[in-house]
């Protein structure tokens, strides 16, 4: 088919690569504008843009697609491009811009979305993170025909994927990206015969965007929830606590079978090569991979060799003993 592709991060780049390998023609790629990133805050192109340019594809980076929005000139220019291309369909994966009705109506066979959840569970921006955080046992990918709602379109294909006990968002992302790339190629090959299935009205949940303030660990929460949140927030924004005025990132943790013995939440109970045991509101959390500000992610044994953690310290408090707030 002749396709327009719209996507931004690595999840979308995997799908674009699979579409190109399958022989589809992609005369136009839409992706988000370059964003400042890194310590120097230099403008960085998206993963999709880099892949598209590597294949010599035309790239457009509108700031908005709304003809009556803040950047109508971007929307108008994109409208001309889409009409000129005359695509059979548009494939959308983690694009990051709302598609107004005029975009949905432009491709002859509609707009297909690759969504990393089992719809209608986890509609929205962060389905992978929220599935892990919630303790879901499985997730998957849904290929749907887009409509004007937020991930509300009719479903074409769905495939389930178990969530492993040690899956972080980074690990699960890679599995789902590969699955999404395979499913979209399959869906396009059978597009004229696939059955459109309306989404159920029951079981709808929303995967709200991950905010930086969520990184701060609340030690009064249960160890089981905190362990899931550590996995859900790897690689972004990372789980954060404090030792006095110093930041401490926690990248890996597990529930410890031990007893907090009445210790206040956030109290370090023990430190050894197996990890840093910390009391929580319910149970004990063992921190197994940590990172100090400006340092590297290290296993607990290596981290403790150069750190001042010791039993009795209270994590999550500033130098005055008051709790840190986000």
Domains of the chain, each with CATH number or no CATH: 2-207 (3.40.50.170), 213-305 (3.10.25.10)
Torsion angles phi and psi, residue 60, rounded to 5? -125, 140
Which of 241, 260, 184, 238 minimizes the C-alpha distance to 5? 184
Extract the tokens encoding 17: 């690569």
List, in sequence order, every beta strand (DSSP E) within the chain. 2-7, 25-30, 35-37, 42-44, 59-60, 89-93, 111-115, 123-124, 138-145, 155-162, 206-207, 239-243, 246-256, 268-272, 275-279, 284-292, 298-299
| Each residue's pLDDT expressed in tens, for the chain with a length of 326 residues | 999 999 999 999 999 999 999 999 999 999 999 999 877 888 999 999 999 999 999 999 999 999 998 999 999 999 999 999 999 999 999 999 999 999 999 999 999 999 999 999 999 999 999 999 999 999 999 999 999 999 999 999 999 999 999 999 999 999 999 999 999 999 999 999 999 999 999 999 999 999 999 999 999 999 999 999 999 999 999 999 999 889 999 999 999 998 888 899 999 999 999 999 999 999 999 999 999 988 999 999 999 987 778 999 999 876 555 556 54
CA pair distance 215, 48, nearest whole angstrom: 27
């Amino acid at each position: 088919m002749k396709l327009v592709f719209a996507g931004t991060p690595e999840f979308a780049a995997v799908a674009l690569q699979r579409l190109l390998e399958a022989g589809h023609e992609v005369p136009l790629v839409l992706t988000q504008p370059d964003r400042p990133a890194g310590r120097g805050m230099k403008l960085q192109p998206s993963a999709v843009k880099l892949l598209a340019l590597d294949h010599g594809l035309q790239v457009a980076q509108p700031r908005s697609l709304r003809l009556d929005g803040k950047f109508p000139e971007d929307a108008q220019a994109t409208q001309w491009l889409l009409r000129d291309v005359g695509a059979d369909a548009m494939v959308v994966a983690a694009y990051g811009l709302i598609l107004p009705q005029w975009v949905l109506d432009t491709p002859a066979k509609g707009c297909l979305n690759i969504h990393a959840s089992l719809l209608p569970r986890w509609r929205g921006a962060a389905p992978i993170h929220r599935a892990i955080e919630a303790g879901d046992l499985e997730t998957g990918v849904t290929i749907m025909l887009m409509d004007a709602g937020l991930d509300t379109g009719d479903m074409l294909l769905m495939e389930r994927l178990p969530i492993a006990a040690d899956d972080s968002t980074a690990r699960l992302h890679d599995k789902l990206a590969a699955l999404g790339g395979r499913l979209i190629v399959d869906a396009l090959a059978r597009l004229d015969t696939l059955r459109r299935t309306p989404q159920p009205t029951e079981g709808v949940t929303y995967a709200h965007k991950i905010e930086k303030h969520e990184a701060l660990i609340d030690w009064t929460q249960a160890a089981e929830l905190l362990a899931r949140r550590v996995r859900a927030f790897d690689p972004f924004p990372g789980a954060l606590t404090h030792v006095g005025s110093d930041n401490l990132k926690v990248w890996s943790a597990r529930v410890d079978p031990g007893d907090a013995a009445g210790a206040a939440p956030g109290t370090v109970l023990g430190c050894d090569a197996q990890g840093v045991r910390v009391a929580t509101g319910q149970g004990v959390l063992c921190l197994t991979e940590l990172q100090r500000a400006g340092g590297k992610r290290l296993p607990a044994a290596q981290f403790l060799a150069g750190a001042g953690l010791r039993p009795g310290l209270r994590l999550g408090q500033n130098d005055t003993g008051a709790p840190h707030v986000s």
